[in-house]
């Protein structure tokens, strides 16, 4: 707990919340602007439609946000050359865990605000029926675990490599993979942690080329894919923590 409090204390003046707020505003503006002035037919499918759009936006934007957060958490130690000093007063593993939990708190807040705005928008726009609590919960936790796995990967890179541009480049590449993974088969999607936004879709879309009308509907949650994602997270955590503990500073 002392290590975690220290991480938040160090982040006070780094304004990590600012890029998160900017990216969240851009994401919400983009995602919700496309859902303005919906027809009665579209309002009937509103909840499925909005849960179809936002995983795509997360795949495009969230890897970059995770890269920024991880970079800000690691860069303060690289710039101040404080890793060796910190390792003399606390276990190296606890430092890694504290940085991960600190970053996870920021990303969880990001997704919680996003979820709250989506819910409020759907209610105010008059989406048919009550909010689908089960589907909203599936969406939130699948997005959260995917985001935390990406954050963990970025944090490992940022702590291992002093040049933070490498981590940012990986984040940008991850955004492209996340976007184009929408066109990958599920077996191929499982190979990339950024593709789990697409793999864990709980909605589907049917496009009628003759009428140019799209229908949105709910599908079963991909439980096997979610368990595979958790395994991904545990592997990255285990390997990344060991690498950080053994890192020469």
pLDDT (tens digit, 9 = 90+) per residue, 139-152? 999 999 999 999 99
Average pLDDT over residues 223-243: 94
pLDDT digits (tens, 9 = 90+) for 43-64: 899 899 999 999 999 999 999 9
Bin 210: left if φ > 0, else alpha if -120 < ψ < 50, else beta: alpha
Main-chain phi, psi angles of 109, to 5 degrees:
-60, -40
Q: Is the pLDDT of residue 174 over 90?
A: yes
- How would residue 88 be classed by pLDDT, with cut points 50, 70 and 90? low
Distance, CA of 16 to CA of 68 (rounded, Å) = 8
Average pLDDT over residues 110-130: 92
Q: Is the pLDDT of residue 220 over 70?
A: yes
Q: What is the dihedral of CA 221, 227, 161, 164, to 10 degrees?
A: 10
Average pLDDT over residues 161-174: 91
Decide which of 66 and 5 is more confident. 66
- How would residue 249 be classed by pLDDT, with cut points 50, 70 and 90? low
Distance, CA of 78 to CA of 163 (rounded, Å) = 9
Domain ranges of the chain: 2-246
Q: Is the pLDDT of residue 183 over 90?
A: no
**Residue-averaged pLDDT of the chain:** 88
Q: Is the pLDDT of residue 133 over 80?
A: yes
Q: Mean pLDDT: which of 7-16, 66-75, 138-147, 173-182 is highest?
A: 138-147
- How would residue 9 be classed by pLDDT, with cut points 50, 70 and 90? confident
Q: Is the pLDDT of residue 33 over 90?
A: no
89 by DSSP, 3-state: which?
coil
- How would residue 210 be classed by pLDDT, with cut points 50, 70 and 90? confident
């Amino acid at each position: 707990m002392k290590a975690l409090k220290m991480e938040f204390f160090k982040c006070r003046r780094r304004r990590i919340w600012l890029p998160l707020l900017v990216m969240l505003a851009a994401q919400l503006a983009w995602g919700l602007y496309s859902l303005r002035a919906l027809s009665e037919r579209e309002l009937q499918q509103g909840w499925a439609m909005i849960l179809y759009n936002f995983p795509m936006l997360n795949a495009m934007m969230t890897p970059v946000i995770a890269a920024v957060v991880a970079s800000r958490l690691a860069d303060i130690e690289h710039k101040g050359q404080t890793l060796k000093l910190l390792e003399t007063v606390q276990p190296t593993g606890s430092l890694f865990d504290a940085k991960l939990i600190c970053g996870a708190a920021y990303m969880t807040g990001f997704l919680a605000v996003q979820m709250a705005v989506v819910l409020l928008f759907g209610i105010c726009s008059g989406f048919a029926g009550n909010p689908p609590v089960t589907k909203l919960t599936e969406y939130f936790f699948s997005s959260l675990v995917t985001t935390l796995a990406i954050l963990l990967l970025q944090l490992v890179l940022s702590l291992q490599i002093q040049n933070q541009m490498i981590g940012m480049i990986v984040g940008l590449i991850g955004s492209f993979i996340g976007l184009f993974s929408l066109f990958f088969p599920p077996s191929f999607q499982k190979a990339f942690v950024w593709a789990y936004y697409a793999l864990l879709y709980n909605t589907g879309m049917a496009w009628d080329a003759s009428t140019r009308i799209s229908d949105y509907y709910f599908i079963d949650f991909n439980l096997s894919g979610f368990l595979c994602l958790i395994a991904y997270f545990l592997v990255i955590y285990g390997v990344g923590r060991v690498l950080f503990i053994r890192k020469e500073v």
